[in-house]
Amino acid sequence: MAELSLIDISKSFDGKQILERISLSVSDAEFVSIVGPSGSGKSTLFHLIGGLLEPDSGDIYLDGERLNGKRGTISYMPQTPSLMPWRTVLDNVVLGAELIGRKNGKKAIEMLAKAGLAGYEEAYPNQLSGGMKQRVAFIRSMLSPQSFICLDEPFSALDEFTRLDMQQWLLSMWEDHRRSILFVTHNIEEALFLSDRVIVLSSGPARVKADFTIPFPRPRKESVVLSQEFLEWKKTIYQELQVIT
């Protein structure tokens, strides 16, 4: 079980309000994306959920337990991959699992290979490209034991082909294991292809502008992005993002 709810979350920095009464929920095994203008406060929202920051007001609950200011309960992939430079690729991806004494080297090696990183297990982060670092951080968050995962633009540094591959891979993994995922992206197509729901944030301060349920059946095939219905959805979300609040 992993059900997240945010209730009336507000946050200011230096007197400037960034988030205003954000309420949203993610049900067990649901895939929810957040899209919103750059600087609107998406990463801040994740820092609050991850307990790195505390809200000025409002509450965060995971399965009924209050999470405000509490770390370690969710698996969180930050926007800038924070790999440990003194650990190899393999030692970095098993980190989350290792912290609770459940290291699974075989699975880690398999996942690295699927992400095109075979042969890099013993490399160090400074020997990797930006996109490779992102994939390592992504695998680390997928391997950590928590049942709720927050991913902050995990594929933004990847070229289009690798991005599509990683999306497919994420979907197949998620369809097998069904963990709850909250996903931030700038890419509307990516949000539509992956998600059960897409939440649109406004900016200055951020509020929930829209919460769409995406009806494409699962398992989803890549070809869904070419359908007329998909195009209609893209328009709807673009329009929602463009309307001045």
Ligand X SMILES: Nc1ncnc2c1ncn2[C@@H]1O[C@H](COP(=O)(O)OP(=O)(O)OP(=O)(O)O)[C@@H](O)[C@H]1O
Binding site for ligand X (CB under 6 A): 13, 18, 36, 38-44, 79
Residue 222 Cβ vs ligand X, minimum distance, rounded to whole Å: 26
Number of residues binding to Mg ion, judged by CB under 5 A: 3
| 47 within 8 A of 70, measured Cβ to Cβ | no
Q: Which does 146 bind (CB under 5 to 8 A by kind): Mg ion, ligand X, none?
A: none
- For ligand X, the closer CB: 211 or 232: 211
- For ligand X, the closer CB: 80 or 129: 80
For residue 10, which of 1, 2, 20 has the smallest C-alpha distance?
Answer: 20
> Per CB under 5 A, does 187 bind Mg ion?
no
| 1 within 8 A of 147, measured Cβ to Cβ | yes
> Per CB under 5 A, does 156 bind Mg ion?
no
Residues 53-92 that bind Mg ion (CB under 5 A): 79
Which position among 5, 12, 17, 43 is part of the footprint of Mg ion (CB under 5 A)?
43
The site for Mg ion (CB under 5 A) is made up of 42-43, 79
